[in-house]
Amino acid sequence: MIAVVPPWNSPPLDLTLDLGEIHVWRVSLAQTESCLQSLQETLSTDERTKAEAFHFPKGRSQFIVSRGALRAILSRYLNINSHILRFDYNPYGKPSLIAAQGGNTLRFNVSHSGGIALIAITKNRDIGVDIEGINTNFPCLEIAKNFFSPLENSVLLSLPEHLQPRAFFTCWTRKEAYIKAVGKGLSIPLNQFDVSLAPGEPAALLNVEDNPEEASRWSLMELIPSPDMVAAVAVAGDCSKLYCWQWTGEF
């Protein structure tokens, strides 16, 4: 199947984030040396230490771009210099802005894969995002057997073989976006809730084991960051206005 890539537009100069809107920024992690340098200068001491701990230069520079772009983007909404921003982390590692800098209002989540980061932002609602490259050589059925729910496994197995890799990664991103929105990461057993995954079926959290109310509390949306990648964003509440922006590295 050839995916249609929706436009990832440059944002307007007078960018605003209204209540009920979701903004997702696509960031290329391959930036020029001078951009990398500028972004690095905005990082906190602990972020620089984390960057230094990467074994390979590529991992180091991708972390710097991802975190630096996050700071640059958040600072644009908050009108605060990006190097001043401070993050808190929940017990599972999910970063958020400190309360004094709008952490209770402006919520975000980040995912990176294959040279692209997605940064999802909203107000007053928990949010999670996940991006994955579609690897056609991946042992999808084997991994699904261990991590997907019985319903998801039966849908995956019912598909023609050539559609299984995309459906697998679509399912994976929807599941990860949900657990990242909740903020508890992989401590939530992946096989204890169902998401949609069949081609053409809208993204949805269908059912959460032992918690019949939970599925209706969340909306899931599909994103197409590039023809060979899939992504999803999960947000508490109704599916509202989604805007996709391309980060140009210019601020």
Ligand X SMILES: CC(C)(COP(=O)(O)OP(=O)(O)OC[C@H]1O[C@@H](n2cnc3c(N)ncnc32)[C@H](O)[C@@H]1OP(=O)(O)O)[C@@H](O)C(=O)NCCC(=O)NCCS
Question: Which residues lie near ligand X (CB under 6 A)?
Answer: 63, 66-67, 92-95, 109-112, 128, 130, 176, 179-180, 183, 185-187
- Give dist(CA 171, CA 198) in Å, integer: 9
Residue 67 or 71: the one with the smaller Cβ distance to ligand X is 67
| Token code pair at residue 102 | 């709008």
Contacts of 28 by beta carbon, 8 Å cutoff, 6+ apart: 65, 115, 116, 247, 249
Residue 183 or 249: the one with the smaller Cβ distance to ligand X is 183
- 218-226, strands of its sheet edge to edge: 127-133, 229-236, 218-226
Residue 147 or 159: the one with the smaller Cβ distance to ligand X is 147
Beta-ladder partners of 233: 129, 221
Residue 111 or 196: the one with the smaller Cβ distance to ligand X is 111
Distance in Å, CB of 77 to ligand X, minimum: 17
Full 3-state SS string of 82-141: HHHCCEEECCCCCEEECHHHCCCCEEEEEEEECCEEEEEEEECCCEEEEEEECCCCCCHH
Distance in Å, CB of 128 to ligand X, minimum: 6
Distance in Å, CB of 162 to ligand X, minimum: 25
Position closest to ligand X via CB: 185
Q: Are 133 and 117 in contact (CB under 8 A)?
A: no
Q: Which of 176, 165, 171 is nearest to 120 (CA)?
A: 176
Alpha carbon distances (Å) from 197 to 92, 100, 169, 208: 27, 39, 9, 15
| Token code pair at residue 104 | 């209770």
Residue 96 or 149: the one with the smaller Cβ distance to ligand X is 96
- Give dist(CA 120, CA 126) in Å, integer: 10
Distance in Å, CB of 182 to ligand X, minimum: 8
Distance in Å, CB of 43 to ligand X, minimum: 11
Distance in Å, CB of 85 to ligand X, minimum: 13
Residue 159 or 184: the one with the smaller Cβ distance to ligand X is 184
Residue 108 or 245: the one with the smaller Cβ distance to ligand X is 108
Distance in Å, CB of 178 to ligand X, minimum: 10
